[in-house]
Structures are given as structure tokens and as C-alpha cells.
Structure 1
Amino acid sequence: MLPTMLKVGLTGGIGSGKSEVSRRLSDRGAMVIDADKIAREVVEPGTEGLARVAAVFGSGVLRQDGALDREKLGSIVFADSEKLASLNAIVHPLVGARVAELQSRAAEDAVVVYDVPLLAENKLAPMYDVVIVVDASDEVRLARLTGLRGMSEQDARARIAAQAGREERLAIADIVIPNEGSLEDLDARVDEVWAELSGRA
């Protein structure tokens, strides 16, 4: 019999602070399954995933040490939706298999948080008991991406445009965590959300 754990989908646009929320939920006892992190793991050197990416996109997306050149691959796929779809067709099934393996280790009453950047885009909301959206305005996200991550404004705008719009994400939210203020504000809201999730689990 499969465990009856609480499956929480956590999403938010790039620069919204989703990783901050994910880390705080983990600190409070959630089991966090990070789709981005797993997506990186399945294309590490020596993996079947990396071999398939190189076969489709050419050896130009590899660095000299044989690792994936993410910036180069990103510049190819973010500018071309068909190429992005080809990459997703390679990576998503591998991520899915790894997620299933991690999930099978969760305790029965666990709160399992799936950190899924493209939850809205890939219409994945029905897979979760609860969907949490970390929300910040495009202006705030743009400032974070250019200021904290050092992206060019053009690159940051392209990344934001490649994702679902704010309304689209909020439309699937069961719980919204606004994140335009201080880290103290964020902590307080995460505490409330954790109490609610623990209650449901």
C-alpha cells in the first residue's frame, strides 16, 4: 500500500524567491524534492541523460571537461520553443523516475514538497494535494535577477517571458506566499503555511 503523504507542489517564477521558501520548508521538516536539482543530476557527466542531450544538440553544448555547458544550452533552448521541447523530452522522464524513487522513501505522514519551477506551464497542478505559489511582481523579480544574479536585463526579461505569467500561476494556487518584503516577513508567512500543511498531513 502506498503511503498517504501530503504532496505539495511548490512553484514560482524565476526570481520570486521559491528557493528561499523551499529551504525554509525543509528546515521545518518537509521532505523537499527539487526538480531543478534532479534535472541537473540526470545530465551529469557519464549519465545517459547527458549522452542524449549531446546527441540531439551536438558536442558544442559540452564544456572541455565533458560537463554540460548550461549557459550555452540555455541560450539555444530559451530562444526556440521546439528545441526546448526536445530538451524536456529527454530530461523530464529521467527526472520523473528519480522523483518516484525518492518519493518511495518518504514516511507515511510526511509533508513532501516538490519544488517545480514549471508547474503551471506543464499543467501539473492536479498531481498535488496542495499547490503553493511564491509570488512577486515582475519588477521585483527583474531587480533580483539583474542585481543578485548578475543577469543582463535582456536575459532576465527573456527568462521571465519564457515562463507562465503571474495570473496563470496564481490561478492554480491553493496557498500564496507573497515575497516582496523582508526575509522576516517571509519567515512569518512560511510558519503559517507550515502549520497549515502539518495540520493537513
Structure 2
Amino acid sequence: MTRPFILGLTGSIGMGKSAVAQMLRDLDVPVFDADAAVHRLQSAGSPLLDRIEAAFPGSTGPDGVRRQELGAHVFGDRDALARLEAIMHPAVGAERAAFLADHADAALVVFDIPLLYEKGHGEGLDAVAVVSAPLAMQRDRVLARPGMTEARFAQILALQVPDAEKRARATYVIDTGVALAETAAAVAALVAMLRARAR
């Protein structure tokens, strides 16, 4: 039995990746959301909470992970972040494998992975689509977010692989610096092409 064509979807902050992921869902493409999986695995009742609490005391409560407290433990501390990732990544990987098994009969599935290049999560992908827009547009989108500042935006950008490098490494680039309908048409064309190739 052939498996689905697996497309990785990524893009820097404010590039419109969430909008593109929704366009894909609207075209009945199964999309695995790595961020959503992390949120589920850090919520109340998750079997990972005891391990997270043991590694980072005070970082969990009755509702699951206390994001601010956990962030304070790992922000700017590579060793602490590596300890957290050692807990989270295998669990997210297991969820992704289960998702793939659930959609084994689909021609195309998408893995939405925000830090695909930053964390080296490209294994097992058949292609990668990078969502991109001009820097000025990205900046306007990000600074419109509640609580965002120029300094915080600069900090986030410094931690991400530059957009130009992502575009250079991508199999496909999805432009969100154009009208929404134009982006949607490009996404639909890409899906049609990949589904045809998979069959």
C-alpha cells in the first residue's frame, strides 16, 4: 500500500502560515498541527505533566503547564530547552505517526511545523512549502499582535532561520504578500498538482 505524499509546511512569524493551513483544510487536506499537539500534550490530564514538573518545578498546575513559568525556566537557557524538547519531541512524534496512520488512504497530508528548519524536523517529508511575505508586511502583521514590541519581534526573528534561507531551501514557496484570493488559488493549484503526483 502506498503512503500519502507528505508536505511539510513552515514559515517565520507573521508570514501567514496559519491562514495557508486553513486553506489546505478547506481543500480537505489533512493537516497535522505540531503546535496544537504540543498544547494538547501540555494540558490538564496529559501523562507528560509529571515529567515536566519534575524537570521544571512550579511549571505545572491543575490546568496543565503554566506557560509563563515554564517559559521562565527555558528562555535563554539552551540546556533547559533541550531537556524540555527531550520530553516533548518523542510524544509529538508519536501523535504525528498516529495522525499519518489515521490518514493512510489520503493522497496528500501536510505536517504544519513552525520550527521545521530551526529544529531539523524535516525527516520523512517528501517536500517542504515555505509561506513567505515581504519583511515590511511581516513586521506590520506581527506588531499588530497584542503585547508585541519591536524588541520582542527582533528577538523572535533572531531565533528563526532567515526567510531568505527558508525560501532557498524550500521545494515550494507560497506567497502571502498578495491578495488572499491569489494565495488561495496558488494553494489550490499546488494541492491539485501534488495529489495528481501522489496518484
Task: Please confirm whether the aligned pair reaches a TM-score higher than 0.5, indicating the same fold.
Answer: yes
RMSD of the alignment, in Å?
1.9
2:25 aligns with 26
Q: Deviations over 1:114-136 (max 9, x none)?
A: 00011111223342111100012
Q: Deviations over 1:92-120 (max 9, x none)?
A: 10000111111111142431100001111
1:68 aligns with 65
Of 116, 119, 128, which aligns to 2:116?
119
Q: Which moved more, 1:65-74 or 1:21-30?
A: 65-74
Q: Percent identity?
A: 36
Distance 2:28 2:88 in 1: 28
Give the direction of change, closer, same or farther, for the CA distance of 1:144–1:73 in structure 2 (3 Å limit).
Answer: farther
Give the direction of change, closer, same or farther, for the CA distance of 1:17–1:149 in structure 2 (3 Å limit).
Answer: farther
Does the alignment pair 1:164 with 2:161? yes
Q: AA paired with 1:177?
A: I
Count of matched residue positions in the alignment of Structure 1 and Structure 2: 198
Give the direction of change, closer, same or farther, for the CA distance of 1:49–1:200 in structure 2 (3 Å limit).
Answer: same
Structure 1 stretches of 5 or more lacking a match? none
Give TM-score scaled by structure 2 length: 0.89
Does the alignment pair 1:17 with 2:11? no
Q: Deviations over 1:4-34 (max 9, x none)?
A: 2111100111211111101100110111111
Give the direction of change, closer, same or farther, for the CA distance of 1:66–1:107 in structure 2 (3 Å limit).
Answer: closer
Structure 2 stretches of 5 or more lacking a match? none
Give the direction of change, closer, same or farther, for the CA distance of 1:181–1:77 in structure 2 (3 Å limit).
Answer: farther
Mapped contact 2:52–2:60 kept (Cα < 8 A):
no
- Structure 1 SS opposite 2:10: strand
Give TM-score scaled by structure 1 length: 0.88
